[in-house]
Structures are given as structure tokens and as C-alpha cells.
Amino acid sequence: MGDGSQEPAYKGVMAELRELIADLPPDTELPSIRAKAGELGLGVAVVRRAYEKLRDDEGLLVSNQGGRFFTLPPRPLEPDEITEIMRRFDVLTGEVRTLAERVAALESARAAAPASSASRSRRRSHPAAP
């Protein structure tokens, strides 16, 4: 974090935490303020300010009474989102059904092919009578 820039140290911590938060599933506990401060070699007050700003100003975190910080819990889906998911599910189900039918047709053709090629090879091995 000590790159010599004039930007307050907590802003660098916020940027790093934003990247971490983006990779975490909902309702995941972040490292403690003390642990993160030790990891970054910064004061606890600097890291606390970053956590609190991400919670209070940006709404990216929630915290509990014990001072632990978490990524946001999963939000309930809106009815139109559920409708869209169901529509996509129906489309995918149709595509899977089509693929299953195509695979079955290919397997049938493949199973029939050795029998017909065997009869062709028998015809070739017996020359026609003069």
C-alpha cells in the first residue's frame, strides 16, 4: 500500500477489498480488521475505516454486533427474474431433448452400419458368376 502516492491509505485498502469481495460468495466473513491490518502492514484504524466505508458508503458489506464484516447475504429474486430463469430453463430443456434425439439417431445409424458394411464386404469377396 505504501506506493508513495498522496491517496489516503484506506482508499488502497478499499480497492483491494472490493476485488476480494467480488470473488467471494454471498454471506462470507471477511478477514478480521486486525488480521487484515497485519497482512497489509497498516494500522487497525486505517483498515477499520476502509471496512466501514465499504459498509456505510458503498453498501458492499454488512457487519454484526461483534464487529465481524460479511459480504452481502443473497437477495431474494424478483418475480420477473424468476420468470426469466424459468423461460431459460424451458429453452435449455428443449435443447437437451433435441440433442438426446440426435444422439439416439446417430447411435441407431452406427449400430446399423456394421451390419450393412459386413454384407457389402461379403458381396465383394464372392465374384459374380460368368
Total residue count of the chain as it appears in this document: 130
* pLDDT for residue 119: 57
What stretches in the chain show pLDDT beneath 50? 2
- Is residue 49 a part of any domain in this protein? yes
- Is residue 92 a part of any domain in this protein? yes
* pLDDT for residue 66: 87
User: Around Cβ 102, how many Cβ atoms within 10 Å?
Assistant: 10
pTM score, whole prediction: 0.56
Residue type, 95: E
* pLDDT for residue 81: 92
30 and 84 housed in the same domain: no
> Which cell numbers hold the place of 104?
439416439
Domain count for the chain, please give it: 2
84 and 124 housed in the same domain: yes
Residues spanned by the domain of 21: 9-71
48 and 99 housed in the same domain: no
* pLDDT for residue 98: 97
Q: Is the CB of residue 21 less than 8 Å from the CB of residue 71? A: yes
Task: Please state, in angstroms and rounded to a whole number, the distance separating the CA atoms of residues 9 and 89.
Answer: 47
One-character DSSP codes across 65-114: TTS-EEEPPPPPPPHHHHHHHHHHHHHHHHHHHHHHHHHHHHHHHHHHHH
* pLDDT for residue 116: 59
User: Around Cβ 4, how many Cβ atoms within 10 Å?
Assistant: 4
CATH number at residue 35: 1.10.10.10
